[in-house]
A and B are shown apart, each in its own frame.
Chain A
Amino acid sequence: MISQTAQSHPGRISLVKKLRENAQLQGLTLVSPTVIYLIFTMVCPLILVVIISFMTRGHYGDIIYQFTVANYSRLVDSLYLRILGYSLLTAAMTTLGTIFIGYPLAYYIARVPSRQRALYLFLILVPFWTNFIIRIYAWIMILRTEGLLNSFLQWLGIIHAPLEILYTPTAVLIGMVYEFLPFMILPLYTSLEKIEAAQLEAAADLGARPWRAFLRITLPLSLPGMTAGSILVFIPAMGMFVVPDLMGGAKTILVGNLIRNQFLTARDWPFGSAASMLLLVLTLIFTLFYVRRAGFGEELLV
């Protein structure tokens, strides 16, 4: 039977055989869907953006294929540099905010019995069931002058005039921290959960009070999670434009808003592309610097 099949489909049999014996070919087969997808959706668009960033804008927002570096020299303007600096600051503050708010929770979840852990991790992911924009509008309802927060504080008598939170940088930060919190909690939890209870018992046994044991054992061992979380928060926070748009009003412009405005409003694709490239390069530099300093993923544990 087998030899008959082999005779009737010699080509197919040899391909199956080759695949069975060749580990490299197996690997290639497994990664190819992702690689092909990413070539079309990431590598090609990126190359296009690089090319367009060196082109000239036509009068009606079209692209004239004429080489120029004017888009880049335009970026070295105090206005754009300020936007860039402000974006860096906001992204950094967002990262710090998620660490300060997320760390205690991740620590707590890593310490409860394992059955409860699954529930808590599930609850952290529940907000993703709702569209992000809708959740931001919910925040607007809470923060605005006649919103829930102000009414509640006034009802308590703590304040007499409503606080101006919405459409300020504070509101942007609140929204950003809210949006990125799970991306910090999950990797932090993963590395905190890996710390054996015996490690902390050993520290206590050797004379370390709880706070010192935290600084010397828990904190260093959770650094890989903090690094991974910081990268997951910082990079998208640098390019975020929805939150500043909706919660920051017209006053807060981040580099993400700048890029979006260039493409959609000003219809200056070459300048938008140049700004995108700047954001990309800056993010890469910051990430590399951070990874060098703090290590990435498992590196610290080895």
Chain B
Amino acid sequence: MTEFAVELRDVVKRFPNPGGGEVIAVNNVTLQIKNGEFFSLLGPSGCGKTTTLRMVAGFEWPTEGEIYINDQAMGRTPPFLRPVNTVFQSYALFQHMTIFQNVSFGLEMEKVPKPEIQERVEAALEMVQLIGMNSRKPKQLSGGQQQRIALARALVKRPAVLLLDEPLGALDLKLRKEMQLELKSLQEQVGITFIYVTHDQEEALTMSDRIAVMNKGSALQVGSPVEIYERPNCRFVADFIGETNILFGKVKALDRDKVWISLHKPSCDILGFPLRDFRPGQEVVVSIRPEKIRMIDNPTLGMGAAPNAPNCFPTRVIKTTYIGSDSRLMIDFGSDVHLIVWEQNRLSVIDPLAYYASGQELWVTILPENVLVMPQEESK
């Protein structure tokens, strides 16, 4: 078996624009998706993730570059000759066929013998936990059940790669969370490579082995969920995955593996972790995750911070929002710059000091490792 299930080499897709000219949907994307991997394409709508998936499926052909599936160049191979199957966003179940006919369709096309079809369809329906509905029509099922049928219909073909185009988009939040875990365990169970398209960063982080973050047709960063979240390689990735506070500044000095940044607003110095090599004077963007900012009442009491220690700043609470597990604070960082801070509500509700009130004067401290310094311009 080859190492990569799917490989995209310098793939470009241009569509003719109805108003004249061309639109670049996918711009020079190179990806290597390993065998048995749960790989997500994550990005905002219109970033080219669905077009990328459709090119792997064979519904679209690349304008430039080449797609390899199991080391075979796909070229202009039509979808019905590719060893991949798709779960569509709209499910695309055949409404005029029963559940059994839907799931057996792909095997019939392969001319699999009847008894084997029966066996494999039953097994596929059992795998998605839908038994005893063989003669129903898709319209008689709930959204979640239709989703499972779509999954069974694709998996019954035992594809080399399963392509999923926002398959949970139409489900309500609770069902979606359930299905996320189910899909992940199903993928581990069958060991098939999954390529999963989503715009939901939480979904991608929950399920994926690796994620490619896409924007404007380019794959900006490819990495594990931890890498993508903790070490984004550009402002877009930092901003798109989770929430973050973005500040602007200039490199003041290099300090071993850290950099001193003098912020433009408010004018103060902050010690941060450089994601690239920087030289003094360079304009940079600083990203700080809200949950990585610690609030402390009194820095003189220790707790790893002191008024003169790096990254310890006096602030004032502007607004607090209680959301149960967390309190979300907006704090005044000076010069009208507001920071978002998430504090876990670790203390008891009966402790009046457990929660913050607007107007409260506080100190914040941030570990330099969590102050991510990246170049001003988009990385690609």
Contact = CB atoms under 8 A, between A and B. Distances in A.
A250 interface: no
Interface in A253-280: none
Interface stretch (B103-111, B316-324, B330-338): B103-111
A32 B153 CA distance: 51
Nearest to B106: A206
A220 interface: yes
B52 to A, nearest CB: 16
A200 B289 CA distance: 45
B51 interface: no
Interface in B118-149: 137, 139
B94 A217 contact: yes
Interface stretch (A49-57, A158-166, A180-188, A207-215): A207-215
Nearest to B82: A205
Given A201-B59, A201-B88, A203-B105, A208 B80 contact: yes
Interface in B61-89: 78-80, 84-86, 88
**Which of B57, B79, B85, B154 has the most CB atoms of chain A within a 10 A radius of its CB?**
B79
A198 interface: yes
**What band does the interface of chain A fall in when counting residues whose beta carbon is under 8 Å from B?**
20 to 34
B80 A202 contact: no
B57 A205 contact: yes
A205 B80 contact: yes
Contacts of A113: 18
**What band does the interface of chain B fall in when counting residues whose beta carbon is under 8 Å from A?**
20 to 34
A221 B96 contact: yes
B275 interface: no
Given A217-B94, A301-B96, A206 B88 contact: no
Nearest to B57: A205
Interface in B271-298: none
Given A216-B105, A302-B139, A204 B94 contact: no
A57 to B, nearest CB: 53
B300 interface: no
A89 to B, nearest CB: 31
B59 A212 contact: no
12 contacts: A198-B88, A201-B57, A202-B88, A204-B58, A205-B80, A205-B85, A205-B154, A207-B106, A208-B105, A212-B109, A302-B137, A302-B139
